[in-house]
Structure 1
Amino acid sequence: MQRKIIHIDMDAFYASVEIRDNPSLKGKPIAVGGKADSRGVISTCSYEARKFGVHSAMPSAEAKRLCPDLILIPGRMSVYKSVSAQIREIFARYTELIEPLSLDEAYLDVSECSACQGSATLIAQQIRAEILAETGLTASAGVAPNKFIAKIASDENKPNGQCVVTPDQAAEFVAGLKLRKFPGVGPRTAEKLEELGLNYGHDLLGWSLQALTDRFGKFGHSLYQRARGIDDRPVQPSRIRKSVGVETTLAHDLRTEAQCEQILLGLLPELKQRLRGRSFKGITIKLKFHDFQQTTAAGQSERLSEDVLRSILHTAFERAAGRRVRLVGISVALAEESSLRQLALDFGS
């Protein structure tokens, strides 16, 4: 049976919640994050702020330089979690196959849902309408035959939009996509692809699987599959996660440990969001260098303290040996009991 996958992504979630709760902020450039004078970072920002180049994981001080009128608001994680639970309850009205990616986005498999005469397009529209009516927030959606296409489609008509890619449209949709939109293609990989004359999905169709894996290793296999619109991954509501992590591929390589530390601290809000209060037992920091080699360093800790992070980062950065850093990542190993608790949550108990 052909899958019907919906990817729901809330629009500027944290910032939208703040605007909803304080309507005087509507239409203004706002950002949720730490103070500009204390190494704070941006968690998310309104679309008005994005016009100035402000984005998540950016140091608050830099955001204020780009947008002097930016209104910085401290985060209220308990409120965001509560709203996320409301949204999850709406999803559950349509399917049990829900795979949350974070507080503000999730995959839904509605292949066997009978609502709206089984139309995934109408189901997505109805879910978005119910989210708006019950939370006062807008969401965007991508509807497609697999997770890869659905996730990209959800970003096509943001904010408060929807993009539907039917099975017979999938090949054409992927062929016209810029490779920079493919998951895993960061700025440096995009540059490498462009040097080979590869800019769009259709440019990969002339390359064999062997040629792509020779050039890009394991990622070459992903490129080969995605260029053909292939993604057989199921929506997994009951998977027991052993780790949670976040990473970013940088537009410009980093040369110093201090620069890496700044990016690392900027990733913490998203990591904490994905953890959703679960306990963990170890921290791993990942660095990938400009020559595409990478290293990881780990430490035992149950707290994301800055001192612990700096110590682990120092161990990892010493291995750079003069190489520039193109990717910074951090992950934590979940405690066994929290994985079991997550399993129960995913089943809706």
Structure 2
Amino acid sequence: MAKKLAGLGVALVLLAQLEPAAGGVKFGEEDLKSDESLWNLYERWGVRYNVARDPAEKLRRFAVFKDTVRRVHLRAAAGVSPGLNGFADITANEFTRDFSCRMTRRNLTAPPPVKRRADRTLSLPLSVDWRSKTCKSGQPCLGPVRSQGATCGSCWAFAATGALEIHQAIKGENNREPLQLSVQELIDCDPDSNGCDGGFAESAFVYVSRKGISSAAAYPYTAAADGICQASSTPRVDLLMRGYQTVPPNDELQLLRAVTNGPVVISIAVGDNNKEFQDYQGGLYHGEGKECGTDNDHEMLLVGYGVDYYIIKNSYGERWGDHGYMLLKRDFGKSPDGTCGILKEGGYYPEIGL
């Protein structure tokens, strides 16, 4: 069942429609001197992220906000101005409850095609970044960062549509405008997912290869699930998906090879009450210690890598991270599962075209 639209959920669904330019709210020692200066910072943060609270709720949220500010300040590196993202006045429990989006894995109704054999003799580029690439249509390959809101655990559907959109753009058939596909159709219609209570991009790929998919404009996102599939009454987009490929678990070389050809859906372990992930406002995310947990619970889109990091596109909107993206530290074999489990389950990407 969909989570109820109430309190925090309503506020953040509305905020998802009003994404401000990213960058975060910077603050310094002066802002921590008194409750009055912290309140002024809270007001500035509220304006920056279009957050409106009724008076009683605002007072309660201010206590959470103060804790976040002090926590972020203590964690900031020497000489670096700390910043606040758009989640600074929600609790860690609320963040875990409202933004987790993976369910228990189960067998799908169809297996993937046989995966390609990796050529380990080819050299890898030092870095890949699909954020800066232009596809055959002349448009940016990557579409905009989108927001799942706080009422629907739909990261898996955003990761799947994001992968489909960019692989179609890379294919460049007919030099068409970039697609924006319907996340909501996957939530309502994919029989192997639990809708807003979680799912897998892998099952979404199976669904699209069989049924096709509509555009986001024809089947818009509501951040809720009522169990009614409307796919039969919405037109299919011109997308030929032959199936999907898998990247094997615990094999960073094959993962990096795959992303040189196009973004790959991956999963990581965010973990319960992970304040470091909740507060992330750019820079290198280390995920050290027990913060990440051990069970992968969030799907995102790997869109590149650098010498010591992966570049990952999230579905929290531009109010989180570096304009909605994350730089996750590579651990170079310290753990077979990689930082926060990024290698644990491998990855998936669609096969588009003839």
Q: TM-score, normalised by structure 1?
A: 0.30
Return the structure number with greater helix share. Answer: 1
Return the structure number with greater strand share. Answer: 1
Q: Taking CA–CA contacts closer than 8 Å with sequence separation of 6 or more, which of the two structures ends up with the larger relative contact order?
A: 2
